[in-house]
Structure 1
Amino acid sequence: MKNWQEIEFLIFDLGNVIYDIDYQRTFEKINSRLPENQHHLIKEFMVSPIHFDLETGKSDENTFRNGVRDFFSSDWEDAWIDEVWNSILVDIPQERLELLIELKKKYPLYMLSNTNSIHFKVVEETFKRKLPEGTWPQLFDHMFLSQEMGLRKPDEAIYKEVVKGIGAAPEKCLFFDDLKENLLGANKVGLQTHHIDHPKALINFFQNV
């Protein structure tokens, strides 16, 4: 980040910035129903069109579930697929929510996330459960979600849409993400960025500015 004094808008990734996620939990559940010689498939699935099409809203939930069954050659139940898919979602630490509530008093807050409709139902329920009543979804001025935008990070196009949607000069926006490639995409369109590289990174950043 170049200059904190310029910042007027804060943009947050969701996974591992606000909401703790753990891919290994999904990997282990999938692998519990697969022979060992197929355990490599889950990592291939995560970068497959089946996943990315759900994440960009190009396919619906039923198409995704059928795609899962086809990809793994397994006749898994819808409910189990959703359970496994959502097991990646761990929780939102309360201290991060309290930080966001305080930041909201000073700045417009935005979310920018590669997400999908199956995950986001759980995400919303978690926010509603853990925030003071009536706080959700007003905590964020707008949520830029890949599933609604038809775009995903780190493509430059999604950051251009975010800047346009906020209506601000990109250098006045600070974007927090846990993946460096997503920050590089944001930098290319002029956003200021900060890498969240450990669980306390967001809290520590605002303690130091």
Structure 2
Amino acid sequence: MKKHPEIQLLIFDLGNVIYDIDYQRTFDKLYAKLPNEKHAMVKEFMVSPIHMDLETGAIDEAGFRDGVREYFSTDWEDAWIDEAWNSLLVAIPQERLDLLLRLKQKYPLFMLSNTNSIHFKVVEQAFLNQLPENTWPHLFDHLFLSHEMGLRKPGEAIYQSVLQKLGAKPEQCLFFDDLKENLLGAEKVGIRTHHINHPKALINFFQDVQ
């Protein structure tokens, strides 16, 4: 990696950086279950307190499912709610996993993600299925997950917490995210950033890493 020679560790967002996600898949499942007059509520749900509370661990999985039922005034079963919620998780392209395995030989790797326990069970299983045996527990030196930290990007507090845990200077860290607001939050505390703005962006950035 020739971009910033002083970089000593790498921090990766999860969604659309490592793991492809598509919110439309969840939207479509909800649209199919809801009358037309409630369709506008679907995208609004993604910025609702129920969603935010799940991502910061303020409510548990049962509380989230009850919140979904109350929000949409439905009697959906737990399993269907989880299925709809997890349908936005598409897949991890193998070339990104192969890249991470190569980078692991040169850098400490960290994940920093706004996520939740329902999604992360599926995420972990995907890593386990696609990585060589016994690789997943050691691929990342630490997982910084919003629902475990009680903090979300792009708030400065989550980046400060990461730096404190790492014991690193912010300019020694390079953070990859697909959302500009999350990069701006990191930059406010001095972390170097790179915007992942298309599916090959991560691969292209590290094309000189063999």
* TM-score of the two chains, using structure 1 as the length reference: 0.98
Residue 140 of structure 1 is matched in structure 2 by: 140
Task: Name 1:28's counterpart in structure 2.
Answer: 28
Structure 1 segments (4+ residues) deviating >3 Å: none
Q: Which residue of 1 aligns with 2:102?
A: 102
Alpha-carbon shift at residue 50 of structure 1 (Å): 0.3
Aligned equivalents of 1:137, 1:10: Cα separation in 2: 17
Q: Does 1:149 align with 2:149?
A: yes
Structure-2 residue corresponding to 1:193? 193
Aligned-residue offset at 1:75: 0.6
Over aligned residues, Cα RMSD in angstroms? 1.1
The match for 2:90 is 90
User: Separation in 2 of the partners of 1:102 and 1:206?
Assistant: 10
Residue type of the alignment partner of 1:200: K
- CA separation in 2, counterparts of 1:95 and 1:3? 21
Counterpart in the other structure of 1:10: 10
- The runs of 5 or more residues in structure 2 that have no matched partner are none
| Structure 1 residues not aligned, in runs of 5+ | none
Match of 1:19 in 2: 19
Matches of 2:38 and 2:48, distance apart in 1: 16
**1:118 has 2:115 as partner:** no
Q: Provide the rounded CA distance (Å) in 2 between the counterparts of 1:79 and 1:166.
A: 37
Q: Identity across aligned pairs (percent)?
A: 73
Q: CA deviation at 1:208?
A: 5.2
Instruction: Give distance in 1, aligned partners of 2:81 and 2:3.
Output: 45
For 1:160 and 1:71, how far apart are their aligned partners in 2? 33
Distance 2:112 2:94 in 1: 20
TM-score (structure 2 length as normaliser): 0.97
Match of 1:170 in 2: 170
Q: Kindly tell me the number of residue pairs found equivalent between the two proteins.
A: 208
Alpha-carbon distance between aligned partners in 1 of 2:36 and 2:185, rounded to the nearest angstrom? 36
- 1:78-136: CA deviation from partner (whole Å, max 9, x where unpaired): 00000000001000000000000000000000000000000000000000000000001
For residues 11-39 of structure 1, what are the alpha-carbon distances to aligned partners after superposition, in whole Å with 9 as ceiling and x for unaligned?
Answer: 00000000000000000000101111211
User: Quick one: distance in 2 between partners of 1:169 and 1:205?
Assistant: 22
AA at the equivalent of 1:197: N
Q: How far apart are 1:44 and its partner, in Å?
A: 0.8
**Which residue type is aligned with residue 132 of structure 2?**
P
Name 1:44's counterpart in structure 2. Answer: 44
Secondary structure of residue in 2 paired with 1:194: strand
SS at match of 1:133: coil
Secondary structure, counterpart of 1:143 in structure 2: strand
CA offset at residue 191 of structure 1? 0.2
How far is 1:199 from its partner?
0.3
AA in 2 matched with 1:40: A
